[in-house]
Structures are given as C-alpha cells and as structure tokens.
Structure 1
Amino acid sequence: MTGAVQDQGVLIGLSVVVFALRDGEAVVLTTGGGPDGAGLPFGPFEPARHRTFELALRDFVAEQTTFPLGYVEQLYTFGDAGRESPRAEMGVGARRVVSVGYLALTHDASAVAGPGAAWTPVLDFFPWEDWRDGRPAVIDQVLAPPLMAWAARKDSAARTARVERLFALKPGARWNEQQVLERYELLYEAGLAPEAGRDHDQRAAPLPGRAMVSDHRRILATALARLRSKMKYRPVLFDLTPDTFTLSQLQAAAEAVSGLSLHKQNFRRGVERTGLVEPTGRLSAATGGRPAELYRYRGAEASGGGVTGLSLPGQR
C-alpha cells in the first residue's frame, strides 16, 4: 500500500488547530515563523510508524511543541486534485497532497517549546474578523477598494454581490461571523492574500493579517468557522475556560472566539436559560472591582442529556 501511494506521488499530511484562551484573547498553537509565516503543528502520516492518524498527530505535536494534546476531532480533509485555494506542498516531487486537519480545544495555554512554537492570537491572522470594538476600519479602508476593483474588472454582478455580502458592505447589512473561510478564500481568489502571490509567483498586495505557510491559513479559517458555529449548539466554550469563572469572564471568552461585542444583560440571561452553569458560592477577587460570583459548568447533565450552546446577542 505504501509503495502504491508513493508511486502516485500522494502524501498524507496531518495538521491540527489547537485553540486556547490567554489574557482575554483566543490563541492558536503555531510553529515556525519563517519568511512564509507561521505554521500549524504539522507532519506526515507514516504507516510503518503509526497505527492511526490520531496517534501520529499526538506524537509530532508533542515533538514539535512539547504540548500534550487532549481531546481532538477531525476537522476536514483537504485533498482535491489540483486545488489552488491555496496550494499545499509537502516533500520534493509530491504531485498530490491529502491534508487531514484536526481541531483541538484546551483551557491550558501553558508554555510550549520547540522551534518557533508559540501561542499566537487568532485574529492576528484575520484582523477583519474582530468586531469587538465595532466595525473594523480595515474592511472599508483597506479591503473593500481592491475587492470591488477586482469584481469590476470582469464586470461581474455576481462577484460584486459576493464581496458586498461577505464583508457586509451595504448599509444595514448583517455581519455573519461564521463565514471566516468564505472571506479568506475570496481574498485569496482576488489575489489579495499574500499566500496567493506566493502560490502563483505573483506580487500580492501587502494586506493586514499574518500569512501562514502552505495552506495553513485556510485550515485555520476552517477551524475558526467551525468553532464559531459550534458555540451556538454545543457547550464547547467550556472546553476553553477554567474550572471556575465569572460571567464576565465567560462573556469575554465568547467575544474573543466570535469576534463580536455582546450585550451584557442579554448574554447573562441567555446563559441562565440554558442551565449550563451553576454558582459555586464563592467570589472572585481578581476582577479589579467588586468581587464577582464564581460559576462552574454543570456538565452533560445540565440540559438533561440534550445538546445546547450559547446564544450570541450582538451589541447594538
């Protein structure tokens, strides 16, 4: 089997997006940091060495970063022939790459080691996704003009509508925080993402946001979109929080992941309706003001065995 795979020029690579919270920011575990940017923990699957993909993943993440993975789930398989959004290269002469991405969450953003290993703010890679202080100026001042010019070059009404919809350019348009991947792929297609210039041997406009090696920013965009979506129907946010937390800390965590500014009272009422948390009877003195009550996640029994997440009431 291994010989057949090699004869076809196919290489299976594994990558993982590890999300955590640190100092009120959503962070991701990265490695490297060379001229093409940082990367996700990544390595080839070696059938002779590893019995399963997950065992291989855990081994090379520990080797590259010293960080032990906890719970992981498969995110997506990137394996289309001739895909260009963007190209992934692994190994000399590889004609086809099948890249299997994983998503992991941890509440322990402890120190990591290894060449360039670090916890990097997620929104450093996608600054247009951060609406916590209102509509980001980068959208209208930096992204919209070249995107609309790109759409106009082919006089495409469909392109224009796509740009306007994904970046909420029309007055009163709603921002959909879950469309992270669609926005990144639009920037790539328009030749505005640095990775597009690299992959097509062209000069790309120096846009805000950190570039990444290979197709890792596409994988990160996929993972962030998945996490933002999952927050609404599964209690995944509690995989990122400590055992006890104040409701303000829980809201800050939800805002850090979603990139939204949430209405305080509506968020708290929504949390109380879910029954996902319960007071501990203790107070936190680390809030900088009046001591706040500490809560904890009740676990799977909180919704009677059902599945529920947190609503995200936007600040208006």
Structure 2
Amino acid sequence: MAEARRKPSAIQHNNADDPQIELGLNAAIVTVRDQQPHILVVRPGMTGSGTLDALPFGPFAPRAHRTLEIGLREWVKRQTGLELGYVEQLYTFGDRGRHAEPGGAHTLSVGYLALTRGAGEELMGSHWSPWYAYFPWEDWRKGKPETLSKEIEPRLKAWAERPPSPEGPARPLRRAERLKIGFGIDGGWDEEKVLERYELLYEAGLVAEAARDGRTAAKQWTDLPEIGRPMEFDHRRILATAMGRLRGKLKYRPVVFELLPPEFTLYDLQKTVEAISGTLLHKQNFRRLVEKGGLVEPTGNVSTTTGGRPARLYRFRREVVLERPAPGLRVKAGRAQA
C-alpha cells in the first residue's frame, strides 16, 4: 500500500516543456440606451494589438481574488470605473490560436455576462459601443439585414459546396444542414443561435478574426468586405455567447428588468426586449403576455415624455419569482404596431 502511495500519478507529472496556462476574466457588460443594446469596450491600447475594441479583461490572481467573480468585479472597476450589478458566468474559452501570443502562455478566458442600467455613468478608459456593430446580421427589427442577403448568404452557400477543411473536426451534419440550422437558410431564423452563426462565419473564413488566426478558409476569399466590426483576441466569440445567453434567458428569467429603470412604461419594456432579441413584437400580444404573467404592476405615476398623452408607469413585481419557476417573457416575433 505504501508503494502505491509513493508511485507518481499522471496528474502529478510535470514536464518543463509543457505550455504555461494563464486564467483570464472577461466581461460582456450590456446596457440599453436609445433603444439599442450596447456593450462596454475598453480603450484601444489597453489590451492586445491596441487597435481593436476589447471587452474588459484581466488575469485571475488567486492570492488577491477569493473568487473568480470578485476578481472580475475588481478588474472591471479598475479598467472602467463601473460597479457591476447583475453578473453570471458564461463559459470558459480556451481555443489555441485565438488568444495566445506566439511562444507565450496559453490563456483560458472565463467569460461573464453582466447587465447594468449605468449607461450614463462617467467611465474611464472605456466607452459604450452598439453590439450590432459587431453582429449586424443579428438585427432584424427593420427586416432582413442587407449584409445577410448581399454578403453572407452567397458566400456561405459557396463555402458549403467546397470539400471539408482538414483543419476542422469531423461533424455529423453537412455544411448545408448546419447553415439551415444556424442561419435559417431554407429554414427558420432562431435568434438565440448567435454563437453558432459566428462560428460558421469563422469556420468559413468570412470574419477578420479567421484571417488573423491563419485559418485556411480565409485565404480563399478575395475582396472580402468587413462583415461586422472585429474585436481583439476571441472577444467577439465571447460576446456572441453572451448575446445568445441573454436572448434565451429573456424567456424564462426576468433579467430584462436589470436593464430598465425602477419605473418604466410598457412601451419602454417592449422596445428593450426588441432591442435585445433583434426582432419586432406584436404590441397587443406583448402587453397581454406581460399583464397576464404578473410581471409588472402599475406605480400610479405617469410619464409625460412620450410625446403624446401621458403613459402609465410600471415596476417589476418581485413576488413573481416566488410564484412560478420561470417568470420570463416567452414572446414571439410579430409585425410592428403603430
């Protein structure tokens, strides 16, 4: 038994040539202003090449940070001056070649989604940027985005007809089938599949990050326009994950109220949901759903800033989270209403 205890295990084995691993913390911090979702990006030069937008980022220091979330909050406060409210962990990102500097340590990034109403706060070293600047194909509030029809879909269809790349993993679905699921090509559009769509664009070499990372597919395109604003490292992938998570969570958790002031009109609520989901909602159906679900209650006050007759003000009814397990907004896209 003593011999067995002394025998080194594979976990204990340490090779000096093993790559170094660093743990980083990233935050996709979301707010809604002027009916547009925005994310907080740090000033160029604070991370990476210094030329592209980046999410607030910092290394995890185990001796200084008792938890990952505490470390994240401290880094965001240090880089931007913003005190975070709602925060949830997304995923751990560690694909080789999407963050590590040549010859440097390999970085694992723990991504977080954070929601705030603090769009008007004075920030240092950072600014708010519309998230559809990075994902213009995700905003369907004015109909199908032009970049989908003109730039993305024709190239994706051409890519689907090419033989699979040897640098990618074997997949159970053919490329055409994946395009149908992700982009709704010859199918239906699912607003939650933001990450799947970005990954398809990356694999097809249609986003700037693919060319930067040396993907073979990116070398096959000539005169390729910029499809969405690129970001440092794999930050656009992290943002895509945050967008999909938030869009899905609207349906079963009352997270939208983290983005609204304490008192709001039903119009404000609808426009905030539309901004996040990238789709239009049927006005009467939306209001019936909100009122039937018991998500809000009138405050007795009115707003006179609507330009028409005063609108009733509401607040989130917190008791709803105790009354049912999934108090979200299971809305469906519809036509615009006057």
TM-score (norm 1): 0.90
**Alignment correspondent of 1:158:** 174
Superposition deviation, residue 59 in structure 1: 1.4
Contact 1:275–1:302 (CA under 8 A) maintained in structure 2: no
Q: Residue 128 of structure 2: which of 95, 119, 128 is its match?
A: 119
- Give 4+ residue runs of structure 1 displaced > 6 Å after superposition: 4-7
Within the alignment, does 1:181 sit opposite 2:181 as a pair?
no
**Alignment correspondent of 2:99:** 88
- Looking at structure 1, the residues matched to 321 and 185 of structure 2 have their Cα atoms a distance apart, in angstroms, of 40
User: Which shifted more, 51-60 or 15-24?
Assistant: 51-60
SS of residue matched to 1:314: coil
**Alignment correspondent of 1:244:** 263
RMSD over aligned CA atoms reads: 2.3
Within the alignment, does 1:195 sit opposite 2:217 as a pair?
no
Contact 2:39–2:129 (CA under 8 A) maintained in structure 1: yes
User: Which shifted more, 5-14 or 43-52?
Assistant: 5-14
**Alignment correspondent of 2:254:** 235
Superposition deviation, residue 302 in structure 1: 5.7
C-alpha distance 198-36 of structure 1, shift in aligned 2 (>3 A): farther
Give the aligned residue type for 2:191.
E
Give the aligned residue type for 1:194.
A
User: Which shifted more, 201-210 or 212-221?
Assistant: 201-210
Contact 1:281–1:293 (CA under 8 A) maintained in structure 2: yes
Contact 2:294–2:320 (CA under 8 A) maintained in structure 1: no
Within the alignment, does 1:15 sit opposite 2:15 as a pair?
no
SS of residue matched to 1:37: coil
SS of residue matched to 2:107: strand
**Alignment correspondent of 2:119:** 109
Q: Where do residues 26-175 of structure 1 align in structure 2 (5 Å cutoff)?
A: 26-33=37-44, 36-79=51-94, 82=96, 87-89=98-100, 93-115=103-125, 117-154=126-163, 158-170=174-186, 173-175=187-189
- Looking at structure 2, the residues matched to 107 and 113 of structure 1 have their Cα atoms a distance apart, in angstroms, of 13
Q: Where do residues 204-215 of structure 1 align in structure 2 (5 Å cutoff)?
A: 205-215=224-234
**Alignment correspondent of 1:222:** 241
Structure with bigger gyration radius? 2
Give the aligned residue type for 1:293.
R
- Looking at structure 2, the residues matched to 268 and 200 of structure 1 have their Cα atoms a distance apart, in angstroms, of 49
C-alpha distance 78-302 of structure 1, shift in aligned 2 (>3 A): closer
Within the alignment, does 1:309 sit opposite 2:337 as a pair?
no
- Looking at structure 2, the residues matched to 277 and 126 of structure 1 have their Cα atoms a distance apart, in angstroms, of 31
SS of residue matched to 1:26: strand
Show structure 1 runs of 5+ residues with no match.
none
SS of residue matched to 1:245: coil
Q: 1:144-200 CA deviation, whole Å, 9 max, x = no partner?
A: 111111111228981122223322222xx3210000000000000000010000011
Q: 1:94-149 CA deviation, whole Å, 9 max, x = no partner?
A: 3422111111111221334333x111111111010001111112111110111111
Give the aligned residue type for 2:82.
F
Give the aligned residue type for 2:225.
P
Superposition deviation, residue 69 in structure 1: 1.2
SS of residue matched to 1:12: strand
Identity of aligned residues (%): 50
Superposition deviation, residue 10 in structure 1: 0.4
- Looking at structure 1, the residues matched to 321 and 237 of structure 2 have their Cα atoms a distance apart, in angstroms, of 35
- Looking at structure 1, the residues matched to 149 and 196 of structure 2 have their Cα atoms a distance apart, in angstroms, of 18
Q: 1:279-301 CA deviation, whole Å, 9 max, x = no partner?
A: 11111101111211111101144
Give the aligned residue type for 1:298.
R
SS of residue matched to 2:161: helix
- Looking at structure 2, the residues matched to 15 and 263 of structure 1 have their Cα atoms a distance apart, in angstroms, of 35
Give the aligned residue type for 1:32.
R
C-alpha distance 162-305 of structure 1, shift in aligned 2 (>3 A): closer
Contact 1:12–1:98 (CA under 8 A) maintained in structure 2: yes
